[in-house]
Amino acid sequence: MVIYAVTDRNPVYLKAIYPAPVELVNVIDDLPAGAVFIQWGGNFQTFKLTRSRRAIPLGRFTNVHEAIFNCRRHTLRT
């Protein structure tokens, strides 16, 4: 189970995401279909990428640990 994180220039996001157990990617296009990922949008947002390459929102979180937990929860369901 791989959790991805899309890179962003926000220092709060970078400080939290670099030590986290995630695989960093530059753009969503680098992700495989079915992947769950974290992205910055003023907070930690989680998404699941469908087979048709559409990002489905899974939640918004105040810290990276909650976002990772949410991603793990959604990968175990499928």
Q: Measuring CA to CA, which residue among 64, 24, 25 is closest to residue 43? A: 64
Residue 13 pLDDT > 60: yes
pLDDT digits (tens, 9 = 90+) for 22-73: 999 999 999 999 999 999 999 999 999 999 999 999 999 999 999 999 999 9
Residue 74 pLDDT > 60: yes
CB 46 within 8 A of CB 38: yes
Give the domain extent around 38: 3-77
How many CB atoms are located within 10 Å of the residue 40 CB? 18
pLDDT-derived band at 76, boundaries 50, 70, 90: confident
Total structural domains within the chain:
1
Phi-psi region of 45 (alpha: psi -120 to 50; beta: other; left: phi over 0): beta
